[in-house]
Amino acid sequence: RCHHPIVKMLDLPFLPFCVLLGGLGFVCVAFVSAWCQHWRGGFALDGSAQTFNWHPVLMVTGMVVLYGAAALVYRLPATWSGPKLPWKVLHGALALAAFALAVLGLAAVFRFHNEHKTPNMYSLHSWLGLATVLLFSCQWLAGFCTFLLPWAPAWLRALYKPVHVFFGSTILLLSVASCVSGINEKLFFSLKNGTTEYNRLPAEAVFANTLGLLILLFGVLVLGALARPSWKRPDTDSPESCQVPAPLR
């Protein structure tokens, strides 16, 4: 292990890192909520533009923050010993909650588009976002059937684990990309026609661009935590560890 002073300085214990990451996740949700409330007119359920505002809030909360929390469940030292079932249930429940919020977020944007006769699924952001949610639904169902249900044999869990790991990382990356592209697309559509144009960098543009950077930082930190060897389960190579349904390892 490297003992360079810079490495030691950056060697933050996992639990303080979790507090830091949790704070960053809270800031991401607070920023997207404040953006929609202050600059985009707040929230409603009537199919208006305020209905659309639920879309970014729910997607950031679900597909980035809650998904990141689900991914890090098996980095908690408390999960390294004792019964695994409670942690499996927690991991699956957090992922399911993230999926539920994502579905509600999609419902909000589809209702807004349908109410205003706006075509659905024509932009790269919409393609990327829907593909991410569909991939996530397949990932959760496959993980549930393989790791939580008792019927799956050990060899199947061992075979599927690397696939689950790969797509877990991919889904997080796609979620971040979807959110960042969605923020950019919304700014291009909104900051024109009588408002201060995007290229003049009004306060809303600065705020929303900062939100995009915070979301990106959150995703990078989650992936960094998952890749750090000292924060992985010490028994990662044992057959029993193949039963752990961590989506990102």
The 10 Å Cβ neighbour count of residue 59 is 26
Helix (H, G, I), strand (E, B) or coil at 55: helix
- Per-residue confidence (pLDDT) for residue 178, from 0 to 100: 98
**In the chain, domain spans:** 15-229
Report yes or no: 224 and 173 within 8 Å, Cβ to Cβ: no
The domain 15-229 is placed in CATH, from the list 3.20.20.10, 2.120.10.30, 3.30.1330.10, 1.20.120.1770, at 1.20.120.1770
Question: What is the rounded CA–CA span in Å between residue 219 and residue 172?
Answer: 7
- Per-residue confidence (pLDDT) for residue 176, from 0 to 100: 98
Please tell me the pTM assigned to this model: 0.88
In sequence order, what are the residues at sequence separation of 6 or more whose Cβ sits closer than 8 angstroms to the Cβ of residue 99?
62, 133, 136, 137, 140
Question: What is the rounded CA–CA span in Å between residue 3 and residue 100?
Answer: 44
Q: What is the pLDDT tens value at each position of the chain, 249 positions in all?
A: 444 444 444 567 888 999 999 999 999 999 999 999 999 999 999 999 999 999 999 999 999 999 999 999 988 888 888 888 898 899 999 999 999 999 999 999 999 999 999 999 999 999 999 999 999 999 999 999 999 988 889 989 889 988 998 999 999 999 999 999 999 999 999 998 667 899 999 999 999 999 999 999 999 999 999 988 888 876 544 444 333 334 444
- Per-residue confidence (pLDDT) for residue 13, from 0 to 100: 87
Report yes or no: 66 and 73 within 8 Å, Cβ to Cβ: no
Question: What is the rounded CA–CA span in Å between residue 172 and residue 166?
Answer: 10
